[in-house]
Amino acid sequence: MHSQAEQFQLYELLNALLDDELSPEARAQLEVHLCECESCRSFFESLRQTLELYHRLDEHNPALPHAVEERLRRFIKQKQICKS
Amino acid sequence: MPLQIDLSIYEDEKALLEGLRRGESDACTCMFKHFAPQMYAQALRLVGDPDEAEGVLQMSFIRACEKVAEFEGRSSLATWLYRITTNEALMRLRKQKAQRHSLDDLADSLSPDNLTYQPQEWPENPSLAVLDEELRQQLEAALQQLPESLRLVFVLRELEGFSTEETAASLGIGLSAVKVRLHRARLRLRDLLANYLRGE
């Protein structure tokens, strides 16, 4: 069980690991800790999964709400954005 | 009626760009159909309000058409349009911010002792393989639950691929503030998602 101060330090390190900002030595040290500490390992995995989901958010083009689409069409026409 | 994306009028992006430069209505329609949904989604994530996002979308189209002659094609048309949208959204937020009291400084001054580090329990085997519509909506809703100062940093860094330096410059904050806000946003989103995945 980590103290709150340790948790904060570990959280900063886990973020640095996600962002590939650790030196090779620090990375190796943290990876050893992750192998040994189940709570840190599962927390890191959940954080990684969260980001992975967000990175996949735009895999499918979202739909433009119909009303927004119609108003944008009218706007483009009114403003004569397209000349021809 | 759902939009049918049809780029067949133009052979490729270069041809579409030429059409836009000539002010052809087909090119404009093509750009509209192809890019408006993503531009709107992006604007909504940044400004957090559907009416504001619509305003951003409309102004972004005007800016794009004004500047299309200057576009040199060093990035893809999509990247260029999304950057215009981001800039327009941030400009709108800056105008709003000037009119209200900001809590951003307070958000960055919290010490580590004040960081809430009590992550919600994560389900053992979350079914994340299929990113279905419901989960997408949950992800967007969680984003909107973040305070603006955290949401902007997360969207720029994680979703739009800005570097820490670009994010800091775009938001007018320091590099350390970007990191603090990003880390907080990640933790908050993870906890919000944990609640959803556990069915709460």
> Which pLDDT belongs to residue A79?
72
Q: Closest approach of chain A CAs to the CA of B41, in angstroms?
A: 7
pLDDT digits (tens, 9 = 90+) for A48-62: 999 999 999 888 777
> Which pLDDT belongs to residue B108?
55
> Which pLDDT belongs to residue B151?
96
Tell me how far the alpha carbon of residue B14 is from its chain's centroid.
26
Question: When comparing pLDDT for B29 and B112, which is higher?
Answer: B29
> Which pLDDT belongs to residue A22?
96
> Which pLDDT belongs to residue B147?
93
Contact B117 A43 (CB under 8 A): no
**Banded pLDDT at B40 (limits 50, 70, 90):** very high
Nearest to B66, CA basis, from A62, A79, A71: A79
Partner residue facing A8 (CB), from B58, B117, B128 = B117
The total of structural domains in chain A comes to: 1
How much is the average pLDDT of B30-53?
Answer: 92
Contact A84 B22 (CB under 8 A): yes
- DSSP state at residue A58: T
Q: What are the chain B neighbours of A45 within 8 Å (beta carbons)?
A: 122
**Banded pLDDT at B109 (limits 50, 70, 90):** very low
Residue A44 lies in a domain: yes
- A65 in helix, strand or coil? coil
The burial of B15, by beta-carbon neighbours within 10 Å (0-12 exposed, 13-18 middle, 19 or more buried), is given as: middle
Contact B190 A50 (CB under 8 A): yes
What percentage of residues in chain B have a pLDDT greater than 70? 82
> Which pLDDT belongs to residue B188?
93
Question: When comparing pLDDT for B36 and B72, which is higher?
Answer: B36
Q: Closest approach of chain B CAs to the CA of A24, in angstroms?
A: 21
**Average pLDDT across chain A, whole number:** 88
Question: B50-67 and B25-47 helices cross at what angle (nearest 10)?
Answer: 140
> Which pLDDT belongs to residue B4?
43
CA–CA separation, A9 vs A37, rounded Å? 15
Q: Torsion-angle region of residue B172: left (phi > 0), alpha (psi -120 to 50) or beta? A: left
CA–CA separation, B16 vs B72, rounded Å? 14
DSSP readout, A14-71? Answer: HHHHHTT-S-HHHHHHHHHHHHH-HHHHHHHHHHHHHHHHHHTTTSSPPPPPHHHHHH
| φ, ψ dihedrals at B172, nearest 5° | 65, 40
- B161 in helix, strand or coil? coil
pLDDT digits (tens, 9 = 90+) for B131-160: 788 888 899 999 999 999 999 999 999 999
pLDDT digits (tens, 9 = 90+) for B166-196: 999 999 999 999 999 999 999 999 999 988 8
Residue A83 lies in a domain: no
> Which pLDDT belongs to residue A83?
57
- B130 in helix, strand or coil? coil
Residue A84 lies in a domain: no
pLDDT digits (tens, 9 = 90+) for A26-48: 999 999 999 999 989 999 999 99
Range of the domain at A43: 4-78
> Which pLDDT belongs to residue B104?
53
Residue A45 lies in a domain: yes
> Which pLDDT belongs to residue B2?
38
Tell me how far the alpha carbon of residue B159 is from its chain's centroid.
6
CA–CA separation, B153 vs B145, rounded Å? 14
CA–CA separation, B5 vs A64, rounded Å? 12
Q: B76-111 b/e with 16+ CB inside 10 Å = b?
A: ebeebbbebbbebbbebbeeeeeeeeeebeebbeee
Domains delineated in chain B: 13-98 (1.10.1740.10), 104-197 (1.10.10.10)
CA–CA separation, A43 vs B187, rounded Å? 10
